[in-house]
Amino acid sequence: MYTRLIFLLFALSFTQSSYAFCGFYVGKADASLYNEASQVVIARKGDKTVLSLMNDYKGDLKDFALVVPVPEVLKEGQINIGDPKLFERIDAFTAPRLVEYQDANPCLDNYKKDRSASFKMRSPASEKESRDDGRLLGVTIEAEYTIGEYDIVILSAEESDGLETWLQQNGYKIPQGASRALRPYIKQDMKFFVAKVNLQEQNKTGLKFLRPLQFAFKSEKFMLPIRLGMINSQGAQDLLIYILTEKGRVETSNYRTLKLPSNMDIPVFVKNDFATFYKALFEHQVKKQNMRAVFTEYFWNMGWCDPCAANPLSQSELNQLGVFWLGGNSQRGRGIPVQVTRLHVRYNGNSFPEDLMFQETGDKQNYQGRYVLRHAWKGSPEKCAAASAYFDNLRQRHEQEARTLSDLTGWSMDEIRGKMNLSSSSKTRSIHNNSSSGDDEWWKKVWKK
């Protein structure tokens, strides 16, 4: 019986799902939008890193295995089983969001003040045989543990062909190209964290899913190995990375890191299908960069938010995700020494030939993927002079919203204008301005000509 080896930081699901977005004041575009999205949380200060990997694996558990390059032989205490709900929490907190506002009555005295105020963000071989064969192949089992539902071995290897052979001899089905993918990590003298499911221990949990794996280690390199995940990829993959640091925004040092277009007014019909809008926006921006950029979707202090797509994580939740530098007197609302950067990468082997290398910057400027709906005032143009001017400007605003949406997503302007009923609003406006013309052709209403 072979275990299918997932040469990945995490296993991928290829099942289709459906998502429902109900009415909202603040809506969000979370990880569930992407069927093949994997999630990683990195907590980093100095040379100390805690890496949390969410295993989105839907196959037979006996076929699951995970291989991750690590910089050192991990002790048992450096490995932990995490809580998947923490991934849901940090995903919800950092997700791109949709907000909506209602235009004020232009006939009120405070209209000009309201209108001029812009939104500002607040600040199968036996164990002995396996070991003997390993020595002959240049593979050493440095450590073995059973932690929760996982059987874990830490391996070192002298050359990639020997490691590939060892894995095959020990029941792992190796994807084509594994030896080539393993070679750079062996040259860097990295170790290999290999985990597979202990079915007996898994049954004891009563869970139908795999819990996240976490490991803590020291390394001068601030990086995330993604190359192994490409050898058994079925196309482009989405990766969401939530990085917790003490001081500033994190970006990649070997690829361009770009902020997605944000803080833009878009047509109100998008509220009915924000998921479709955001997926189209991200795909369009990825294409514009030829799938060769990392995108920032969120950066903020973890102590507060405005507007909030979810409540900030508690100190206990942050500790569980690896934030080890928090004291006991951190205050909400005034900022805490934890910044969260959310990066989104869509990649394949050609577009991202190197692992992701990171650097913490001194940038503390808040940023969020935020898109704004502005609902028009429902009154009449005849109510006051300001109302007439308001409706004159509203047409221009709607045209600008249509152009913005087209630029963000690549959607056709004609299709967008049709969904906004811009043509029909133009006819309605001309009737308001020339009521006698409508009277002269009253008979059209009889025979509908």
From first to last of its 449 residues, the chain has per-residue pLDDT tens of: 444 444 443 332 222 332 222 223 335 566 666 556 789 999 999 999 999 998 767 677 877 888 899 999 999 999 999 999 999 999 999 999 999 899 989 988 555 545 544 444 433 455 555 566 666 789 999 999 999 999 999 999 999 889 888 888 887 766 767 888 889 999 999 999 998 889 899 999 888 788 999 999 999 999 999 877 665 556 788 899 999 999 999 999 999 999 999 999 999 999 989 999 999 999 999 999 999 999 999 999 999 988 888 999 999 999 999 999 997 655 555 689 999 999 999 988 788 889 999 999 999 999 999 999 999 999 888 888 888 899 989 999 999 999 999 999 999 999 999 999 886 444 334 333 443 444 555 555 555 54
* Residue 83 neighbours by CB under 8 Å, 6+ apart: 211, 212, 320
Same domain membership, residue 215 and residue 108: yes
Residue 94: Cβ within 10 Å count: 28
As a whole number of angstroms, the distance between CA 362 and CA 332 comes to 22
Same domain membership, residue 168 and residue 226: yes
Distances (CA, A) of 14 to 8, 56, 116, 255, 377: 15, 10, 48, 27, 45
**How would you classify residue 68: left for phi > 0, otherwise alpha for psi between -120 and 50, otherwise beta?**
beta
Crossing angle of the two packed helices 127-137 and 160-169, in degrees rounded to 10: 160
Same domain membership, residue 221 and residue 191: yes
- What is the reported pTM? 0.82
Same domain membership, residue 391 and residue 317: no
Same domain membership, residue 275 and residue 406: no
Last residue of a domain, one of 331, 353, 371: 371
Same domain membership, residue 248 and residue 212: yes
In one-letter notation, the amino acid at residue 373 is: L
* Residue 93 neighbours by CB under 8 Å, 6+ apart: 302, 305, 308, 309, 310, 311, 312, 313, 340
* Residue 97 neighbours by CB under 8 Å, 6+ apart: 26, 27, 28, 29, 307, 309, 368, 369, 370, 371
Same domain membership, residue 186 and residue 151: yes
Same domain membership, residue 381 and residue 367: no
Last residue of a domain, one of 325, 352, 371: 371
Q: Which range of residues forms the domain containing residue 417?
A: 376-433
Crossing angle of the two packed helices 385-409 and 274-288, in degrees rounded to 10: 50
Residue 13 in any domain: the answer is yes
Same domain membership, residue 383 and residue 420: yes
As a whole number of angstroms, the distance between CA 172 and CA 166 comes to 9
Last residue of a domain, one of 319, 346, 371: 371
Same domain membership, residue 365 and residue 391: no
As a whole number of angstroms, the distance between CA 396 and CA 78 comes to 59
Residue 109 in any domain: the answer is yes
| Six-digit token string for 28 | 């969000």
Same domain membership, residue 212 and residue 81: yes
- State the total domains in the chain: 2
Residue 190 in any domain: the answer is yes
Q: Cis omega before residue 307 (within 30°)? A: yes
Crossing angle of the two packed helices 422-433 and 385-409, in degrees rounded to 10: 160
Residue 50 in any domain: the answer is yes
Residue 440 in any domain: the answer is no
First to last CA, the chain: 76
Residue 70 in any domain: the answer is yes
Distances (CA, A) of 174 to 2, 151, 165, 287, 379: 10, 18, 9, 32, 67
Residue 447 in any domain: the answer is no
Crossing angle of the two packed helices 178-187 and 160-169, in degrees rounded to 10: 120
Residue 449 in any domain: the answer is no
Eight-class DSSP state of 72: S
Vertex 150 angle, CA 146 and 156, to 5°: 75
Same domain membership, residue 305 and residue 329: yes
What are the phi and psi torsion angles at 388 (to 5°)? Answer: -60, -45
What are the phi and psi torsion angles at 146 (to 5°)? Answer: -115, 115
